[in-house]
Structure 1
């Protein structure tokens, strides 16, 4: 069973120009090893899913985004370059907020890795959680009506 959190979770970029606040209900993270995420962050994107109505940004004028596919955009701080989020533009339109941008990122266990067969050999995340291949990831998202 997922741990339930009711207190606000805050975070932001390296320079402080962008801050955010969210109240999460389920505390879990996941990692994406797809080529786009790897090139965007320089490694795996480890993130937390946040519904669009549950996140508030301060300094939004400093957020820049790139539409990396028909269904999603990726955003960063325009001043310091910090990776902020992957935003799904279809379906639930959730934000996948980079775990490392939270002020207190501990206590958020990894529950899934996707595109595991695209992961570089030089690192591995510990833990007993599902690890989906590219084919498994695409099948799961296709059945849910979402893109990657």
Structure 2
């Protein structure tokens, strides 16, 4: 069931080998400025929280990279498209907002690792902002 807070998003990699369906994609875009996300995406990672209800077709083409103790990153092994950031505990998916169509009605809502953000860009939107230490403390509080 779709609510105002979520939508059904579908997307595919550049070559079409992998298709992804998120039945409950959130409408709040989160920006991560950590060095790992910037290295992975070439800039901040702009992603939607899609929860655990994500279906992947063409999974044999998905390569996984263990990018930290708490998460994996998935990408198409054929064309390199970034598909998701997945939490190890709980299995929640964060999907790049540009991958999902339609991505209407979404807005930039929060930024994390703002203390790692380089000085050469800023977002104009007013958002919730958390430092790396605040993010780690929030993860620890969930344990």
| TM norm structure 2 | 0.90
What secondary structure sits across from 1:85 in the alignment? Answer: strand
Q: Secondary structure at the match of 2:37?
A: helix
Matched, 1:10 2:10: yes
Indicate whether 1:103 and 2:104 are aligned: no
Q: What SS class does the counterpart of residue 57 from structure 1 fall into?
A: strand
- Tell me the residue number matched to 2:123: 125
Q: What's the CA shift for 1:88?
A: 0.4
Alpha-carbon distance, 1:3 to partner: 3.0
- 1:105 Cα deviation from its structure 2 partner: 2.4
Q: Cα distance 1:105–1:26, how it changes in 2: closer, same or farther (>3 A)? A: closer
* 1:27-83 per-position Cα deviation (integer Å, ceiling 9, x unaligned): 21201111111111111111111122x111111111101111222111101111111
User: What SS is found at the alignment partner of 2:130?
Assistant: coil
Query: Gapped runs of 5+ residues in structure 1?
Result: none
SS in 2 for 1:117: helix
1:5–1:72 distance in 2 versus 1, CA, 3 Å: closer
- In the comparison of the two structures, how many residue pairs are matched? 141
Cα deviation for residue 9 of structure 1 reads: 1.5
Decide which structure has greater strand share. Answer: 2
8 Å contact from structure 2 (residues 25, 51) kept in 1? no
What corresponds to 1:59 in structure 2?
A: 58
Residues 85-131 of structure 1, C-alpha deviations (whole Å, 9 max, x = no match): 111011x2201111111122232111110001111111112212111
Deviation beyond 4 Å, 4+ runs, structure 1? none
Q: Tell me if structure 1 keeps the 8 A contact 2:51–2:92.
A: yes
Using the TM superposition, give the Cα deviation of residue 25 of structure 1 relative to its aligned residue in structure 2, in angstroms. Answer: 6.1
Distance 2:24 2:44 in 1: 22
Q: CA RMSD in A?
A: 1.7
Structure 2: runs of 5+ lacking an equivalent: none
Q: Which residue of 2 aligns with 1:33?
A: 33
Query: 1:5, 1:51 → 2: CA distance?
Result: 10
Is this contact kept in 2: 1:28–1:110, CA < 8 A? yes
